[in-house]
Amino acid sequence: MHRSLCTSALLLLLSTTQSVAQNKVVVVPLLGDEDQPSTYQQSGDLNNALYDIFSHSSHPFGTPIGPSVIFNKQSDDTALEAFLFSHIRIRGLSAEVSAPFCQFTLLANGSEPSYYNRAGLDNDRREDEVSLWSVYQNLPKGVYEFRVYAWTNSIALDVGLDPNGYGGRIIVKETR
């Protein structure tokens, strides 16, 4: 059993190589794998500012917050996947409505993804670990900007990504 596990790990190591430069990782298959490599890009630190979010945003997903990730999509026939793993904190929500909340979505160029999830905070839970995931299919090759968008039904004060500086990141992957 142990020998089999070591052999599997060695084969995995031999089947890929990684190139890391400026927060970009390219995984290159070897050993005759016909698939093209997947390309990744990650954000830097997310803890750069606090934002006040207002319910009258003209964008259906709210207001962009935090730093962005710029991703250069290389092919027309691939999908883009974006992930956020981080803490999010709000200082408070106004009591303009009976159940105020603030929700978060990860978007490319502010457009609705093919598949996605949202996370939310309210006055009972003002900080939490969140995972956001968005998938974009049928996008042409080109440059895309990924950001977190925050929407509220009231006023959300001092909204911050990765408020404790734990290393939360946005990671974007071109899926082949």
pLDDT in tens, the chain (176 residues): 433 333 333 333 333 333 333 444 444 443 444 566 789 999 999 999 999 999 988 899 999 999 999 999 999 999 999 999 999 999 989 877 888 999 999 999 999 999 999 999 998 999 999 999 999 999 999 999 999 999 999 999 999 999 999 999 999 999 98
pLDDT at site 12: 35
pLDDT at site 14: 34
- Asked if 21 and 41 sit in the same domain, the reply is no
pLDDT at site 35: 61
Q: Which domain holds residue 139?
A: 36-175
- Asked if 100 and 168 sit in the same domain, the reply is yes
- Asked if 141 and 67 sit in the same domain, the reply is yes
pTM for this prediction:
0.79
- Asked if 3 and 76 sit in the same domain, the reply is no
Phi-psi region of 32 (alpha: psi -120 to 50; beta: other; left: phi over 0): left
- Asked if 141 and 99 sit in the same domain, the reply is yes
The rounded distance, in Å, linking the Cα atoms of 90 and 129 is: 12
The residues that bridge with 92 in the sheet, in sequence order, are 157
- Asked if 25 and 100 sit in the same domain, the reply is no
Per the structure, the count of domains in the chain is 2
Tell me the one-letter amino acid at 7.
T
Q: What is the DSSP letter of 111?
A: B
pLDDT at site 97: 82
pLDDT at site 24: 45
- Asked if 75 and 145 sit in the same domain, the reply is yes
- Asked if 149 and 95 sit in the same domain, the reply is yes
- Asked if 85 and 1 sit in the same domain, the reply is no
